[in-house]
Amino acid sequence: MAGLLSRISRVKTAPLHTMSPAEARAAYTLRAEVLDPPRAPLARVQDFTIPAADGTPLPARLYAPSHERLPLLLYLHGGGFVIGNLETHDSLCRQLSARSGGAVVALDYRLAPEHRFPTAVDDAWAAMHWLAAHAGTALGLDASRLAVGGDSAGGTLSAACALHARDVGLRLALQLLITPGTTAHADTPSHKLFANGFVLDAAAIAWFFDHYIDHRHRRDWRFAPLEAEVDDVAPACLILAECDPLVDEGLAYADKLRAAGVPVKLELYRGLTHDFIKMGRAIPQAREAQQAAAEALREAWGL
């Protein structure tokens, strides 16, 4: 990881937080899969749309290793609520589908600053409800075995989905939280310890959050799941990186879930940084983490 960080620093690319959101999205799309493995072939890869709560059609992509009636994962990509799309996480979604034997539905939720908080949350909830109601008839999948998951900001959205699912009586098989954000103010010790030079810098976090949410709303549990009561939420699998500004809040959320009696599987990858799970071409532990996520899904689905 240290060698990879050294090589990345020598490339001298402009930091995302120095760009406009549109420029940052374009730059991230170009480089997001550079360290991912090649896109794995699957029996089904299908683009379609899911209606948002206000009727807006949201792009989505289905990945499945067969045409059978498979359980499914709603996947919410990372990118600080400002960048990221179906293309930036295509390789990862293919790996999760191929390794788990289940289907993955990736959602292209709306991004800030054009769509500030809570639009991304509302889009994620709308997709979860739509899949629970229509994945069987529209996609030929087993909607009774629905999981939610995502990385970084997508992990935050997934935790919010699990909390909302509990509140409305929707049973989820699993919440897969990969290096999620869970605190209101990015003020844990790991935010200071890993503030610079570890892939996700403090300046980038501030840039993302300023575009996404007003400061006065940051204790809303839909943004900071640590502010919520977590009793009776879906079982969780958390995949964390030791050298990540978000690691402390990931550990704190795992502890809070466990204290509430929620089954938790926790994988902490030592010596690795934020976003490592998308570095399978260079970091062997990325492939291990993908397999760990897939095995948690298989267990939750009863495969």
Neighbours of 194 (CB within 10 A): 23
| Residue 18 binned pLDDT confidence (cut-offs 50, 70, 90) | very high
Mean pLDDT of 24-34: 96
Between 12 and 29, the higher pLDDT residue: 29
| Residue 11 binned pLDDT confidence (cut-offs 50, 70, 90) | confident
* Measured torsion, CA atoms of residues 88, 92, 96, 97, in degrees rounded to the nearest 10: 60
| pLDDT recorded at residue 114 | 98
* Measured torsion, CA atoms of residues 49, 60, 164, 152, in degrees rounded to the nearest 10: -150
Instruction: Give, in order, the Cα–Cα distances in Å from 275 to each of 65, 104, 105, 241.
Output: 25, 19, 20, 8
The count of structural domains within the chain is: 1
Q: Is residue 101 predicted with pLDDT exceeding 90?
A: yes
Q: State the pTM of this model.
A: 0.97
Cis, peptide link before residue 113, omega less than 30° from 0: yes
Q: Are strands 264-273 and 57-64 parallel, antiparallel or unpaired?
A: unpaired
Is 274 among the residues known to form the active site? yes
Per-residue tokens: 279 = 């570095």
Rounded (to 5) percent helix, strand, coil in the chain = 40, 20, 40
Q: Is residue 42 predicted with pLDDT exceeding 90?
A: yes
**Domain CATH number, residue 150:** 3.40.50.1820
| pLDDT recorded at residue 288 | 98
| Residue 8 binned pLDDT confidence (cut-offs 50, 70, 90) | confident
Mean pLDDT of 188-199: 96
Q: H helices then E strands: how many in the chain?
A: 9, 8
Catalytic residue among 36, 90, 142, 244: 244
Q: Is residue 145 predicted with pLDDT exceeding 90?
A: yes
Q: Which residue range forms the structural domain that includes residue 255?
A: 2-301
Instruction: Give, in order, the Cα–Cα distances in Å from 214 to each of 11, 129, 224, 226, 264.
Output: 34, 27, 13, 18, 31
Q: What is the pLDDT of residues 254-303, one digit of tens each?
A: 999 999 999 999 999 999 999 999 999 999 999 999 999 999 999 999 99
Q: Is residue 9 predicted with pLDDT exceeding 90?
A: no
- Alpha helix ranges (H) inside the chain: 2-11, 21-31, 90-100, 119-139, 153-168, 189-193, 202-212, 247-259, 284-301
Is 248 among the residues known to form the active site? no
Per-residue tokens: 241 = 């990186």
Q: What is the pLDDT of residues 227-258, one digit of tens each?
A: 999 999 999 999 999 999 999 999 999 999 99
Catalytic residue among 91, 100, 152, 158: 152
Show Cβ contacts of residue 290 under 8 Å, excluding neighbours closer than 6 positions. 92, 95, 96, 99, 277, 280
Is 66 among the residues known to form the active site? no
| Residue 12 binned pLDDT confidence (cut-offs 50, 70, 90) | confident
Q: Is residue 68 predicted with pLDDT exceeding 90?
A: yes
